[in-house]
């Protein structure tokens, strides 16, 4: 049980450290989809008993099909939606933290500063910042439980 809790804490910290990378990933995937699928309307349908189909309808349909298989577009879209889920979940969970707790998250995980620099920015002793970390991670284990299930 204790090992599982430690693993969850590490996973939360990992998601927080990669927050900015997820945001860049969303933008990059969107740019790639815009380039690959210009002015395309994509429709995905899954009928009972089928694995689903991906239909593309546009003026440039032939160009699109030459550039990319429809499954690749679905994979990219799926990755982007997962990144959006992670970023939006982190944003919502952090919005519920106290101001000093949000400052800690921003400095420690988003700006990747060592604890001693975080303590200096916050004006606290390093030992107190470690206590704030534990409180933040405990709160985020609840608020981010949905993304812990993505692993």
Task: Label residue 46 by pLDDT band (50, 70, 90).
Answer: low
Residues 136-148 have pLDDT tens digits of: 999 999 999 999 8
Q: What is the pLDDT of residues 1-25, one digit of tens each?
A: 789 989 999 999 999 999 999 999 9
User: What pLDDT sits at residue 85?
Assistant: 97
Distances (CA, A) of 32 to 40, 60, 83, 91, 143: 13, 16, 15, 25, 31
**Helix locations, the chain, DSSP H:** 2-17, 19-36, 61-67, 70-95, 99-105, 115-122, 126-143, 145-148
The pLDDT score that the predictor gives to residue 35 is 78
The domain containing residue 65 runs over which residues? 2-148
User: What does the pLDDT average to over 65-83?
Assistant: 78
Query: pTM of the prediction?
Result: 0.77
- How many domains does the chain fold into? 1
């Amino acid at each position: 049980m204790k090992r599982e809790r430690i693993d969850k804490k590490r996973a939360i910290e990992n998601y927080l450290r990669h927050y900015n990378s997820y945001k860049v990933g969303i933008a990059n995937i969107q740019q790639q989809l815009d380039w690959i699928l210009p002015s395309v309307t994509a429709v995905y349908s899954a009928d009972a008993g089928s694995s689903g189909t991906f239909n593309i309808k546009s003026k440039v349909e032939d160009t699109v099909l030459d550039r990319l298989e429809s499954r690749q577009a679905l994979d990219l879209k799926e990755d982007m939606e997962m990144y959006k889920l992670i970023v939006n979940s982190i944003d919502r969970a952090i919005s519920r933290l106290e101001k000093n707790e949000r400052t800690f998250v921003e400095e420690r995980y988003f700006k990747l500063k060592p604890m001693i620099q975080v303590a200096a920015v916050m004006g606290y002793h390093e030992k107190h910042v470690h206590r704030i970390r534990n409180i933040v991670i405990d709160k985020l284990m609840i608020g981010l439980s949905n993304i812990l299930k993505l692993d």
